[in-house]
Every structure is written in structure tokens, then in C-alpha cells.
């Protein structure tokens, strides 16, 4: 039992170290040596516990995504009868937290952004787990806000606009805007959530009006 416990602890240390390094450097720029150095393990440990760097990366994504979703679900625990404006706000807030949170809760978002900028074979899993469910939820909310008569193109364009606003802040993490660095993380995330939601709702209203549905 003692050896089994030690093995589980060693595997957990490797997973924790790998998550941090992959999130900071990306898959291609991360070496097994980097991970083993951070976890104080020998280089054979990765193959022993995970099989390969690729399989470790897949496990890292699965674990990081699960942790982020558990802490920040897409509905942010709204009731089922919440209005679409509030559901959009919750979805934006959930997405921003996943990308901008410090430490392990932000790792899933950082890996997602790394994959979008420099995709690996893992992108198919990430699209399935993270991107496609987000897209479908966003489309559903926007369809309610825009009305059934709005063309599919306008709905898709609106979804792209909201998602890319969130991703833009994720890519830069405030580096382009020094004034944002002065804000504490909770205040920054709240301010960004409100701005993106308000900006998006105004654009959605304009598109709906243009289509003669107001």
C-alpha cells in the first residue's frame, strides 16, 4: 500500500508540474526535462506513469478543463429561468475566468489559447470539449436575443464577436493596456465581463433593429 500511495503522489506531482509548464510554454516548447525538474522527478517517470509526452498532455488538458468547469460552469449557477441577457453575462464571465484566473484555474484557458495560436494534435479534443459546447451555448442564447427571424449569418457573426472579445483579452492578458494592471484581478474580471456583455448587447440590439425586429 505504501508503494502504491507513493506512486499516486509522484503521478500527481508530475501532472501538477506538467500543467503549469504546458500552460506557460505550450506543448512544443515544453520538454520532459522541464516537467521533471519542476516535479523533482527523473526523466523516466513520464513514460512510466503516462506513456509519453503526448499522453501526459492529453491528461493535463482533461484535468485542467474539468477543474475550470467545476469552478466556473457556463451558467455560473444561474437558475434555469434566467433571462438570456443574464445567461450571456454568465457565459462571458465563465470564459474570462477560465483564461485570466491566476494559477491552476487559469491553466485550461491558457492551454486553449496556446492551441489556437499554435495547434497540435490535441486541438481536436479541445474543440470537442471546450470550443464546440461554448459555440452551441452562445448560438442558442444569441438566437433568443436576436429573434427567430434573424438570419443565421448574423447570429454566427454575433457569436464570433462575443467569443473573440473574450479571447482578445485572454491573449494579451492586459499587457497592451497598462491601466488595467492597476486593477485587482476580481475587479478586472468583473469590469471586463460587464463591458463585453454591455458592448455585445448594444450591438445585438442594433442588428435586431436593422433587421426590422425591434
Question: 25-42 pLDDT, tens per residue?
Answer: 999 999 999 999 988 888
Q: What percent of the chain has pLDDT over 70?
A: 91
For residues 93 and 205, give the distance between their C-alpha atoms in angstroms, rounded to a whole number: 20
Q: Taking 60 as the threshold, does the pLDDT of residue 176 lie above it? A: no
For residues 190 and 82, give the distance between their C-alpha atoms in angstroms, rounded to a whole number: 19
For residues 210 and 190, give the distance between their C-alpha atoms in angstroms, rounded to a whole number: 30
Any idea how long the chain is? 214
What pLDDT does residue 212 have? 73
pLDDT, one tens digit per residue, over 52-107 is 999 999 999 999 999 999 999 999 989 889 999 999 999 999 999 988 887 788 89
- Which residue in this structure is represented by grid cell 477560465? 98
What pLDDT does residue 179 have? 61
Sorting pLDDT into bands at 50, 70 and 90, what band is 186? confident
What pLDDT does residue 95 have? 92
**Grid cell listed for 81:** 429561468
**Grid cell listed for 6:** 507513493
**Grid cell listed for 153:** 449569418
On whether the CB atoms of residues 23 and 64 are closer than 8 A, the answer is yes
What pLDDT does residue 187 have? 85
165 SS3 class: helix
Q: Which of 106-115, 143-152, 166-175, 188-197 has the lowest mean pLDDT?
A: 166-175
Extents of the domains making up the chain: 2-56, 64-210
For domain 64-210, give the fold: Tetracycline Repressor; domain 2 (1.10.357)
pLDDT, one tens digit per residue, over 112-134 is 988 988 899 888 988 899 889 99
Sorting pLDDT into bands at 50, 70 and 90, what band is 139? very high
The rounded mean pLDDT for the chain is: 88
What pLDDT does residue 175 have? 58
Contacts 24+ apart (CB under 8 A), 32-40: 39/10, 39/13, 39/14, 40/13
pTM of the model: 0.84
What pLDDT does residue 3 have? 46
For residues 56 and 15, give the distance between their C-alpha atoms in angstroms, rounded to a whole number: 7
For residues 23 and 11, give the distance between their C-alpha atoms in angstroms, rounded to a whole number: 18
Q: Taking 60 as the threshold, does the pLDDT of residue 1 lie above it? A: no
What pLDDT does residue 149 have? 84
147 SS3 class: coil
What pLDDT does residue 104 have? 80
Q: What is the dihedral of CA 169, 140, 203, 101, to 10 degrees?
A: -20
**Grid cell listed for 165:** 472579445
What pLDDT does residue 51 have? 93
- 2-56: in CATH 1.10.10.60: yes
Amino acid at each position: 500500500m505504501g508503494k502504491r500511495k507513493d506512486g499516486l503522489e509522484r503521478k500527481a506531482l508530475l501532472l501538477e508540474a506538467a500543467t503549469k509548464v504546458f500552460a506557460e510554454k505550450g506543448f512544443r516548447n515544453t520538454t520532459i526535462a522541464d516537467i521533471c525538474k519542476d516535479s523533482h522527478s527523473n526523466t523516466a517517470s513520464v513514460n512510466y506513469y503516462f506513456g509519453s509526452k503526448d499522453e501526459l498532455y492529453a491528461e493535463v488538458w482533461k484535468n485542467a478543463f474539468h477543474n475550470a468547469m467545476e469552478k466556473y460552469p457556463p451558467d455560473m449557477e444561474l437558475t434555469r429561468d434566467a433571462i438570456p441577457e443574464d445567461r450571456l453575462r454568465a457565459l462571458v464571465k465563465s470564459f474570462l475566468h477560465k483564461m485570466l484566473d491566476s494559477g491552476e484555474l487559469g491553466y485550461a484557458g491558457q492551454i486553449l489559447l496556446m492551441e489556437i495560436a499554435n495547434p497540435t494534435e490535441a486541438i481536436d479534443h479541445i474543440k470537442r470539449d471546450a470550443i464546440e459546447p461554448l459555440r452551441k451555448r452562445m448560438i442558442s442564447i444569441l438566437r433568443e436575443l436576436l429573434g427567430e427571424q434573424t438570419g443565421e449569418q448574423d447570429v454566427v457573426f454575433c457569436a464570433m464577436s462575443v467569443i473573440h472579445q473574450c479571447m482578445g483579452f485572454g491573449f494579451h492578458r492586459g499587457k497592451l493596456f497598462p491601466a488595467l494592471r492597476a486593477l485587482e484581478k476580481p475587479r478586472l474580471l468583473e469590469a471586463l465581463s460587464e463591458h463585453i456583455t454591455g458592448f455585445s448587447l448594444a450591438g445585438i440590439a442594433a442588428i435586431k433593429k436593422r433587421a426590422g425586429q425591434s
